Chain A
Amino acid sequence: AQSVTQLGSHVSVSEGALVLLRCNYSSSVPPYLFWYVQYPNQGLQLLLKYTSAATLVKGINGFEAEFKKSETSFHLTKPSAHMSDAAEYFCAVRLNRGNNDMRFGAGTRLTVKP
C-alpha cells in the first residue's frame, strides 16, 4: 500500500537558515507526491508536486523538493527560512490517479526563530 512517513513532528530553525523537512514514501508504482502547507485556522495550500517529470521540483515561496527513488525520499527544502514560513507541512501521495484519494503524512510543524 502506498504511504508517506514524515520524519520529525517538529522542526525549529533560525531565520535565514536552511529548512529541511523530511518525507519518505512507500509505493509499488511510480508515485505522485505532494507537499502542502497549512497555516493556523486555514486549509491546505499546495506547495509543489512530483508527477514523474523532473526529479527536482520547484514550488511556491522558494521551496523545492527532490525525488530520490534510490532513497524513496521526497524531502522539502528552502535555502533561507523566513518568519512567514512558520506553519504545518504535510507530505502526501496520491493513491488513485482517477480521483483525489491521497494519503497524508502526520505533518511537521516548522518554527522559525528570529
Chain B
Amino acid sequence: ETGVTQSPTHLIKTRGQQVTLRCSSQSGHNTVSWYQQALGQGPQFIFQYYREEENGRGNFPPRFSGLQFPNYSSELNVNALELDDSALYLCASSLASGQDYEQYFGPGTRLTVT
C-alpha cells in the first residue's frame, strides 16, 4: 500500500510568483487536507477536499486555492507569493471526512520564497 506522497520535495520561488504543490493520497482515501507549517510552529489547516469539493477552510486568503481530481489526488495553488508563505506544506489523506477517520500525512513540500 503506497502512502501519501507529495511533490516536489523542495521549491524556491520569488515573491509575486505562483506555485503549485501536488499530493497523491493513500489508496482508497477520498479526503485530502492541506496544512502550512511555518518554521518552529505547528501545522495550520488551510483547507480540505472531500470527493472533489472543498468542505472546510482555515483562515487563509483566497490566493490559496486547491483542487481535487477524480482519482482523489490534489493540488494546492498559491498566487502572488509573499515571503511569509515560506513554510513546509503538508498534505494528509483519510478514508473519509470527519472525526472518525485518521489522517495520514505526507512528508511535505518545503517552499522557500525569496
- Select B107's contact among A41, A46, A95, beta carbons within 8 Å: A41
Given contacts A43-B106, A94-B99, A107-B40, 14 further A-B contacts (CB under 8 A): A44-B43, A44-B92, A45-B105, A51-B99, A97-B99, A98-B55, A99-B56, A100-B31, A100-B56, A101-B48, A101-B56, A101-B58, A102-B43, A107-B42
- Select A42's contact among B41, B43, B56, B107, beta carbons within 8 Å: B107
Classify chain B's interface size. Answer: 20 to 34
CB-CB nearest 10 A-B residue pairs: A104-B42, A43-B105, A99-B56, A100-B33, A44-B105, A97-B99, A101-B45, A99-B48, A101-B56, A43-B106
Instruction: Please determine whether B97 and A44 come into contact, CB atoms closer than 8 angstroms.
Output: no
A95 to B92, CA, bound (A): 16
Interfacial chain A residues near B111, Cβ < 8 Å: none
Instruction: Please determine whether B42 and A92 come into contact, CB atoms closer than 8 angstroms.
Output: yes
* Min CB gap B22→A, angstroms: 15
Q: Report which A residues bind B (CB closer than 8 A).
A: 32, 41-46, 49, 51, 90, 92, 94-107
A95 to B56, CA, bound (A): 11
Interfacial chain A residues near B108, Cβ < 8 Å: 43
Instruction: Please determine whether B99 and A46 come into contact, CB atoms closer than 8 angstroms.
Output: no
Interfacial chain B residues near A105, Cβ < 8 Å: 42
- Select B41's contact among A45, A92, A102, A107, beta carbons within 8 Å: A107
